[in-house]
Each structure stands twice: as structure tokens, then as C-alpha cells.
Amino acid sequence: MCGIAGFVSSRESAESRTEAIRRMCAAMVHRGPDDEGYATVHEASLGMRRLAIFDPAHGHQPMQTADGRYTLVFNGAIYNHRELRAELEQAGHAFKTHCDTEVLLLAYAHWQEKCLPRLRGMFAFAIWDDRERRLFAARDPLGIKPLYYASTPAGLLFASELNALRASRQVENVIDPAGVADYLARLAVPPPRTIYRGLRNLPPGHALVLDPSRRLSTWAWWHLPAPGPTPTTEKTYAGFVAGLRARLDDTVNAHRLADVPVGAFLSGGLDSSALVGLMARASPGRLKTFSVIFAESEYSEQAGAALVAKTFDTEHHEFTLTGTQVAADLPRILRTMDQPTGDGINTWYASQAARNGGVTAALSGLGSDELFGGYPSFRDGPRLKRLLGVWSSLPAVLRHRLLSHLRARGSTRALKLADVLSSARDLHEIASLRRRVLPESTLMGLLTPEARELMQRQGPHAPLFDEFVDDLIGADNFQILSAWELRTYMADVLLRDSDVCSMAHSLELRVPFADTSLLAWLWPQLARFKQAPGRSKQALADAVSDLLPPAILKNPKRGFTLPFACWMKHELRPFLEATFAPAALASCPWLDASVVQRLWQDFLHRHDPRAWSRVWTLAVLIAFANRKAG
């Protein structure tokens, strides 16, 4: 796991490029405290910070082939590197290390871009081909590891973090109103845009090439599996559950491989409990587990986590998080963010606890809800699809009256329903709109006319909407909803936040459910096996029923929610009062300050259990815009 950076330019001197790379890597020390390295090959300068996971004594980067043709910088982990090594050795390649970096380097040298589908893991890497004077970069299929870039008059820059690109002093530090509108709509700025003007985010499963004539191109190298039955499609539920258990064992075994201590996040819910059970069963030593708990008992899953830890005799660590602690840490947390987020605080503290508890890598249950229908969207999406059929048959006058009635009610639920009924035409558009944080009317009211015009020009859907739809021709309802959750909320919010918050503490976070081998097997299985009516994630529970205590298996799903609604009116209130003050709002010319302040006052004086997330999302954006330049 590393932070990587690069600068390709025929205009800037090698010294100038190297200085920029060193600044970029210095901004990413937290991503790789174990080692650093730099290389300049003609017009390409590359750099890295390394967190050593495989073969810690070796694996220095940038890594170069023996003939000097290829130079690699790589962030991530290739879990099948031993299998690929054996294949490459049979083809005549000799290895000097036991790390996955060298395997990736020689895999590219041997197969070129065709190596990508062979890789199992999380990765973002760049390779300079000195013979062709060509830069190739790629990102893993599901977006676990990030890669940002900027094409400037001086040349192309890339890095693992936007903060690192900014540290190069080669790019502008201007917040993009289009990115602001995206963030407020979706809790994240979906790729290829970012919160900064001119800085780009390579989408998951995409590759980038800078050719010898300095033309830049990107394309999708990975697509979701084709819908329809395959030889591995199970015909009975019993066969499906047995097959699922085998694949869960496989992905956990792959993700726990490392030459450093590996632990697990344990919330007490089904997902993390299943991983802990599977890990404990396969691990030779005593597993370390980590939980974030709260004094506010209604938010804490302490009892469930403790039960699982006792069942598997783990070395369990609990971290009690308070609003006072969050208030004290907010300045550091905000400095770490390279884009604003309304989420991620829980991962920040779980990662801190894991690193302080003696592990360098940890497994998380992230991704299970997307695979097994754990979100309300899997229930509500088909219902709304059926409703659209009835809705379209109504007279236009009646539809207009009903929409006016919904909007007059003013609640977020009613406004979001109005957005779906007025804009959606199929399940894809329903899925896209359902993940919006703010209703259209609320969002437009917050933005100034310039930003509002940009939002209207962009339309209500994600930037890669058409690409998503093309990938899902012939898919069933469950596959469509699963794909949208995987490729929007999981990739753009959960995985993005997990990378930033874990790497801030020099922790490699691994996500066994977000595994392409598991996904490839699961994708063609019958939807009724993956999601039983009225029983959230029953398939996962059945697959690990022999491992987990009945109390965990039978617990209804509950999201991991922090007591923010309470903290925001008490411990976090001074931060919020300062954030919503006119002086802070002056740094946000794309927001209507009066509407922002009214939203804050409404939160303080009205009881709306959902309002806190929208207010917090807005507060983080304003605080982000007021960070000191650096």
C-alpha cells in the first residue's frame, strides 16, 4: 500500500519535476511511512511512499525492469501474486523479490494491458514505457484505490490524493461550482470530476494512456459480468448457499494474506461478524478485532461485537467515541480530506484504533449490502418502478396536481418522491435519483444562480450514466440495483472515505466483499436466492449459520450510525456556529448564505431525525472551503 505520484513533461526540467514529486510525496507520508523512492527516466518523473505489506525488506519503488524499459509505481495489493508469479516464471521471467509489486511489473512487461483482467486485488498504478515514451495507468474494477490526475500546459501529473496534486504547485486550487453541486446532491463528487476545477478522478475500472504525441485518453477496461445463466449458476438454494460459503472462504483467505499483522473491524452486525468468524477459523493465531462504541446506548452495537469476540476468542479492542473527541479532532480530519464528505468519521476512528492496536492491515465488511440487497433501495426500487407504470397512465393535469401536493408537504421524503415521479423513466433513473442526498428543490435553493445553472446543465444523473446503462443491458432488477449501489455509493463514498481515513493512520484497509472473483460468481445467480423477500441478507446469514451465534444471525439490519444528531446540538455546536457564520460563508460564493443559515436554524429548532445528515454534509463543505491553503 503506497502513495504514488508522477509528472510527465518535456517542458519542465528533470530538477523541476523531481522537486514537484518530492512535494507531492511529502504530502502523502501517512500513506507510506516505511519507505520512499524517486526516479526520473527522460521526460517522466515518478515517486512513491511505501507502506510495506508483502516482503517488507524488499519491494522498493519506483521499480524498474532489468532492461530499463518499464518503470512502475503501484498503490494496492495483488492477492493472487503468487499464482501469477508461478505463471510468469514458467514463461521465463526471473524474480528478485517476493512482493506483489515485482509481479505486477513483470505481468505488464509480459502481457501489457491484457494483464489487467488477471489481477485480483485493489490497485492504482502507473508504468512508464521508456522505449515507446508512453505512460499507462489503471485503477481496479470497483474503485478501492484512487488515482487523480491533471493535464496542464506543463504536462501530466497524477497522484493518490488531490492534496498531493495541490502540493505539486503545478495545478490551480480552485473549487469548482459543478463539483459543489455534485457533492451536495450525492455526498461525493462522482468521477471523472472532483471538487477542484481541472483536477480529474480516473473512474473505477478505467485506464489512462499518455501517448508519445502527448494525447491523453481514458477508457473502461473492466465491465460488469454479462447477465444471464452460466455453468456456475446454481439451480437450488441449498447449492447456492454452499457455493456462496466456498466463495466467502476463498475471498477471506485471499484478503488476509500479508507479511504483517492483519486484524478486522467488528461492528457487531452480520457483515463484520461473518468476516471475523471466517478469519478466526482460518487464522493460526489469535485474531485482533476493533470496535467503535458510544456512550449513547441506542447507537452502540457493543453487545453484539463483544459476543462475537467472545465466540471466536479474539483479542478485542473497543474505542469509545464521544462528541467531545470528534470536536477536538475535526481540524486534523478536515486537513486530511482531499474532498469533502459527510461520512467516514467511523472509519477514521476504527482505523486509528486498529493501527494503535498493533496491526498494519485490517478487513472490513464494506460491500456486503451491495451484493446481498441490504439497502432499502432493493425493496423500494421495484415498487417505484411499478408506480411509474401507473403514474405514466394518469392524465397530465392530475400528475401536475399530485406533484404540487407532494412538494407542498415539504418533507424530504415527499420531495424526493416528487423528483422520481417527475424525472425518472425506468429503474436506472430511479436508482440514480434515489442516491441523491438533497431533493432537487432544496439543492437548487442552496445554490447561487451560477452554480444552479451548472447543476441544471449537468442534469440529475451521475456523469457516467449512459456507460452504466450500456453495461446492464439484459440485467434483472436486482442486478441493476446492485450495480448502481456498487458503482455510485460504494465506490464514490464508502470506498473513497475508507481509503482516505485508513491511510491517514497508515493502515491498509481490505474489503473482501468487494472482490471481483466473488462478484463474478454471484452476479449470474438467481435474484430470489440473493434476496429473500422480507429477510435482509438472509443468504449471507445462511452461508455462515454454522459459525455465528443465533443472536447475530437473527438481528435485524441496522446501519452504522453515529450520534451526530445529538452531538451537533451540543459538543459540535461551537464548530457548526462558526461554520455557518457569515465570515465562513463568504468563502463559498456558490452558496446562498441566507438559505444555508435558515437550514441550520431549522435543524436547531425543529425535530427532524433525518435533517442532521444534510446539515452536516453542508457544514463539512463550508469548513473544507475555509481550510488553510497547503
CATH code for position 364:
3.40.50.620
Task: Judge if 211 and 271 occupy the same domain.
Answer: no
pLDDT of residue 455: 81
Task: Judge if 18 and 166 occupy the same domain.
Answer: yes
Q: Are 160 and 154 in contact (CB under 8 A)?
A: no
More confident residue, 351 or 562: 351
User: What's the grid cell of residue 463?
Assistant: 456523469
In a domain, 578, yes or no: yes
pLDDT of residue 15: 96
Mean pLDDT of 504-528: 96
Give the domain-ending residue among 554, 581, 600: 554
Q: For residue 1, is pLDDT > 70? A: no
Q: What is the pLDDT of residues 525-550, one digit of tens each?
A: 999 999 887 778 999 999 999 999 99
Strands 315-321 and 361-363: unpaired
Q: Are 489 and 343 in contact (CB under 8 A)?
A: no
72-81, 444-453, 547-556, 604-613 — most confident range: 72-81
Identify whether 117 is preceded by a cis peptide bond (ω within 30 of 0). no
In a domain, 463, yes or no: yes
Grid cell 457516467 is found at 464
Give the domain-ending residue among 167, 191, 220: 220
Q: What is the pLDDT of residues 591-614, one digit of tens each?
A: 999 999 999 999 998 877 678 888
Grid cell 520512499 is found at 36
Q: Determine the residue type at 614.
A: R
Which residues pair with residue 206 across a beta bridge?
Answer: 220
Task: Judge if 244 and 349 occupy the same domain.
Answer: yes
What is the full DSSP assignment across 435-452? Answer: T-SS-HHHHHHHB-HHHH
Q: For residue 226, is pLDDT > 90? A: no
- CA distances for 496 relative to 145, 355, 471, angstroms: 8, 19, 22
* Terminal Cα-to-Cα distance of the chain (whole angstroms): 24
User: What's the grid cell of residue 63?
Assistant: 521499480
> For 350-389, b where at least 16 C-beta lie within 10 A, e where not — what string?
bbbbbbebebbbbbbbbbbbbbbbbbebbebbbebbebbe
Task: Judge if 348 and 469 occupy the same domain.
Answer: no
- CA distances for 55 relative to 80, 99, 430, angstroms: 15, 5, 47
The size of the chain, in residues, is 630
User: What's the grid cell of residue 448?
Assistant: 447561487
- CA distances for 470 relative to 223, 341, 466, 489, 616, angstroms: 10, 29, 6, 19, 35
Q: State how far the Cα of 78 lies from the Cα of 42, in Å rounded to an integer.
A: 29
Structural domain count of the chain = 4
User: What's the grid cell of residue 442?
Assistant: 432544496
Q: State how far the Cα of 482 lies from the Cα of 595, in Å rounded to an integer.
A: 35
User: What's the grid cell of residue 547?
Assistant: 459459525
Task: Judge if 19 and 93 occupy the same domain.
Answer: yes
- Residue 403 has phi, psi (to 5 degrees) of -65, -40
**Which range is least confidently modeled, 164-173, 209-218, 299-308, 498-507?**
299-308
**Which range is least confidently modeled, 69-73, 85-89, 129-133, 612-616?**
612-616
Task: Judge if 359 and 349 occupy the same domain.
Answer: yes
Grid cell 486537513 is found at 335
Give the domain-ending residue among 454, 480, 506: 480
In a domain, 231, yes or no: no
More confident residue, 343 or 476: 476
pLDDT of residue 559: 55
pLDDT of residue 630: 43
Q: Please report how the helices 377-393 and 427-434 are oriented relative to each other, as an axis angle in degrees rounded to 10.
A: 120
Q: State how far the Cα of 556 lies from the Cα of 535, in Å rounded to an integer.
A: 9
In a domain, 227, yes or no: no
Averaged confidence pLDDT in the chain:
93
What is the full DSSP assignment across 239-283? Answer: HHHHHHHHHHHHHHHHHT--SS-EEEE--SSHHHHHHHHHHHHH-
Q: For residue 560, is pLDDT > 80? A: no
Q: How open is the CA angle 43-49-53, to the nearest 5 degrees?
A: 130
Q: State how far the Cα of 190 lies from the Cα of 173, in Å rounded to an integer.
A: 19
Q: For residue 563, is pLDDT > 80? A: yes
DSSP assignment letter at 114: G
Task: Judge if 365 and 505 occupy the same domain.
Answer: yes
Rg (CA), the chain: 24
Q: State how far the Cα of 555 lies from the Cα of 575, in Å rounded to an integer.
A: 36
Return the biggest CA–CA distance within the chain: 74
Task: Judge if 367 and 393 occupy the same domain.
Answer: no
Task: Judge if 366 and 511 occupy the same domain.
Answer: yes
Mean pLDDT of 423-437: 90
CATH number of the domain residue 167 falls in: 3.60.20.10
DSSP assignment letter at 232: T
Q: What is the pLDDT of residues 241-285, one digit of tens each?
A: 999 999 999 999 999 999 899 999 999 899 999 999 999 988 888
Task: Judge if 139 and 250 occupy the same domain.
Answer: no
Phi/psi class of residue 155: alpha, beta or left (left: φ > 0; alpha: ψ in -120 to 50)? left
Grid cell 503468487 is found at 82
Task: Judge if 428 and 505 occupy the same domain.
Answer: no
Segments forming the whole domain that contains residue 396 = 377-480
Q: For residue 164, is pLDDT > 50? A: yes
Task: Judge if 103 and 204 occupy the same domain.
Answer: yes
In a domain, 262, yes or no: yes
- CA distances for 425 relative to 293, 354, 389, 419, 433, angstroms: 42, 45, 9, 11, 11
SS3 74: strand
